[in-house]
């Protein structure tokens, strides 16, 4: 009986949150577009660069190509963030999320999320953050100190936390759905990125080992 009541209560909350979303707002649709497009774009372009070096050839060097892609990803990220905020501004406030404790939780999420993103970028640098390994710009060793000792993917997880935090601060149910989509796209992006990156570094290590054998 207790479990049934809890389930009905959760179902009621879920239904109310869905009802608090205005799916017809253009800004909501545009935010979804950028959330889906951005990671899809950078994965396709990075794979093409790895196999064809088209950006490196076009810009004159691997580093210039990486910076070009980094700038493009950054600008697309700004567009996504702008429309995420605009989408929330155009949405009604959800009574369920209009609570002081939820607001406090939102602040903590934003702070933690931004710390993870900022420290991750600081440790990796521009080329480490923006897919430099696809351009042949590899790091000497894996970064294992903060924030990588508390988060497996601090850039993606920090970004997701920031979106969730901003959503809770604004009290908009639509933001929860958009944040879930951000998390889902990062999740699927990692399914493509992590094995491919591991292959790149494994190939580098194999080449190093072969050179050592020839040297001896």
Through-space distance between the first and last CA atoms of the chain, rounded to whole angstroms: 74
How far apart are the C-alpha atoms of 35 and 81, rounded to whole Å? 9
The answer to whether the CB of 36 falls within 8 A of the CB of 79 is: no
In the numeric block, which tokens belong to residue 130?
A: 């923006």
Binding residues for S-adenosyl-L-methionine: 111-113, 193-194
User: What's the pTM value of the predicted model, to 2 decimals?
Assistant: 0.91
Which residue ranges make up each domain of the chain? 25-215
One pLDDT digit (tens) per residue for the chain, 216 residues: 555 666 667 787 878 899 999 999 999 999 999 999 999 999 999 999 999 999 999 999 999 999 999 999 999 999 999 999 999 999 999 999 999 999 999 999 999 999 999 999 999 999 999 999 999 999 888 888 899 999 989 999 999 999 999 999 999 999 999 999 999 999 999 999 999 999 999 998 888 888 887 776
Binding residues: 111-113, 193-194
């Amino acid at each position: 009986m207790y479990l049934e009541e809890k389930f009905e209560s959760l179902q009621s909350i879920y239904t109310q949150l869905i009802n608090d979303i205005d799916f017809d707002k253009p800004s909501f649709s545009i935010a979804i577009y950028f959330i889906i497009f951005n990671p899809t774009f950078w994965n396709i372009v990075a794979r093409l660069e790895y196999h064809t070096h088209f950006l490196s050839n076009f810009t004159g060097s691997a580093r210039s190509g990486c910076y070009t892609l980094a700038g493009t990803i950054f600008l697309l990220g700004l567009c996504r963030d702008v429309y995420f905020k605009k989408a929330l501004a155009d949405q009604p406030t959800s009574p369920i999320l209009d609570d002081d404790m939820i607001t406090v939780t939102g602040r903590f999420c934003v702070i933690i999320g931004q710390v993870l993103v900022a420290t991750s970028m600081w440790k990796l640098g521009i080329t480490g953050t923006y897919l430099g390994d696809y351009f042949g710009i590899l790091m000497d060793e894996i970064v294992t100190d903060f924030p990588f000792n508390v988060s497996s993917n601090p850039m993606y997880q920090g970004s997701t936390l920031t979106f969730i935090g901003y959503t809770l601060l604004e009290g908009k149910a639509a933001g929860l759905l958009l944040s879930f989509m951000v998390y889902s796209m990062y999740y699927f992006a990692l399914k493509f990125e992590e094995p491919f990156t591991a292959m790149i570094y494994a190939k580098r290590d194999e080449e190093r080992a072969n050179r050592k054998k020839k040297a001896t």
